[in-house]
Amino acid sequence: MSHHIVEVQGLEHVYPDGTTGIQGISLKVVHGESVAIIGPNGAGKSTLLLHLNGYLAPTSGSVRIGEVPLTRETLPEIRRTVGVIFQDPDDQLFMPTVYDDVAFGPANLGLPRDEIDRRVNEALSLMGIASLKDKPPYRLSAGEKRRAAIAAVLSNLPDILVMDEPTTGLDPFGRRQLMGILRGFTHTKIIATHDLDLVADLCERTIVLHGGSVAADGPTLEIFRNGALLEECHLEKPFSMQGCPVCSPRSGAGGQRV
């Protein structure tokens, strides 16, 4: 199961305009972990995720998936292992129909037509959008686009699932449905999100980014109980942990600072 491991060492990315997106990030995610990446806007969450299967190349540092270093030559192999769901589903949906978008990955793997059909239909049904398979993506609502983009990644059967703000645009039913799907995905999950209740429910480990660097890395509940850390990084506890503002005293300590 070593190919389910994500290892980042000294990762730095500087954009062409000179803006530093991330700097000096090192972390390791092992097989089966559900890890949240949280932080305020501009903390570097999306930049980090886009390095995990080569959509961005590091200015310095390295990414390794299992025993395979991420290089131009290994990109096809790594992209078969690491499925990334972008923050904006319009960045993923580009084919004439929803069916074509969800079939794109399996077709590029050279799978036979009946296997492609099976994967596409299963992914569409799982996301509750089988009835939309013949629709063009531009005719979908924001929530439907989100579901289609997730289905397009799930049809590839990735070993590692990387998601950037997966609940954005979903209604409460769609969010609950996605939570159930993620609970059933037993391989490695890395989720960057502002939905801290999702983090509390699904992720046993949380990494906090602030200013492009890792500010904390530890058990999720300890991170969320560390009031000083949350305040410093412009975060708040999940709604489920806030309680009544009148009768619940505020708490502080916990979390591992790095």
Domain containing residue 14: CATH number: 3.40.50.300
CA gap 245, 153 in Å, rounded: 40
Tokens for 169, please give them.
Answer: 């645009």
Residue bearing tokens 């590839």: 156
Q: Is residue 130 part of a domain?
A: no
CA gap 83, 232 in Å, rounded: 32
CA gap 123, 56 in Å, rounded: 27
pLDDT in tens, 190-211: 999 999 999 999 999 999 999 9
CA gap 191, 166 in Å, rounded: 8
How confident is residue 177, by pLDDT bands cut at 50, 70 and 90? confident
Mean pLDDT of 221-250: 84
Mean pLDDT of 161-165: 95
With a cut of 60, say whether residue 254 has pLDDT above it. Answer: no
Q: Is residue 253 part of a domain?
A: no
How confident is residue 1, by pLDDT bands cut at 50, 70 and 90? very low
How confident is residue 78, by pLDDT bands cut at 50, 70 and 90? very high
Question: 247: burial class by Cβ within 10 Å (0-12, 13-18, 19+)?
Answer: exposed
With a cut of 70, say whether residue 73 has pLDDT above it. Answer: yes
159: left (phi over 0), alpha (psi -120 to 50) or beta: alpha
In this predicted structure, what is the pLDDT of residue 232? 95
Cβ–Cβ under 8 Å, residues 128 and 147: yes
CA gap 65, 128 in Å, rounded: 31
CA 28 to chain centre: 15
Mean pLDDT of 56-84: 93
DSSP label at 219?
Answer: E
Q: Is residue 132 part of a domain?
A: no
In this predicted structure, what is the pLDDT of residue 201? 94
How confident is residue 117, by pLDDT bands cut at 50, 70 and 90? very high
DSSP label at 189?
Answer: E
How confident is residue 251, by pLDDT bands cut at 50, 70 and 90? very low
In this predicted structure, what is the pLDDT of residue 70? 95
In this predicted structure, what is the pLDDT of residue 247? 60
Q: Is residue 214 part of a domain?
A: yes
Please tell me which residue, 186 or 144, carries the higher pLDDT value.
144
In this predicted structure, what is the pLDDT of residue 250? 52
The tally of domains found in the chain comes to: 1
In this predicted structure, what is the pLDDT of residue 244? 61
Mean pLDDT of 231-253: 74
Q: Is residue 110 part of a domain?
A: no
Please tell me which residue, 222 or 243, carries the higher pLDDT value.
222
Mean pLDDT of 160-177: 90
In this predicted structure, what is the pLDDT of residue 246? 61
For 51, the domain range is 2-89+159-242
Beta strands 82-85; 188-192: pairing state: unpaired
Q: Which of 120, 129, 130 is nearest to 147 (CA)?
A: 129
Q: Which residues pair with 14 in a beta bridge?
A: 20
E strands, 130-256, are 160-164, 188-192, 205-210, 213-219
Q: Is residue 237 part of a domain?
A: yes
Q: Is residue 255 part of a domain?
A: no
CA gap 27, 5 in Å, rounded: 11
Give 117's contacts (C-beta < 8 A, 6+ positions apart): 103
Alpha helices in 127-185 (DSSP H): 142-154, 172-184
Mean pLDDT of 222-231: 96
Mean pLDDT of 157-179: 90
Work out the percent of the chain whose per-residue pLDDT is above 90.
Answer: 78
Mean pLDDT of 77-95: 92
Q: Is residue 77 part of a domain?
A: yes
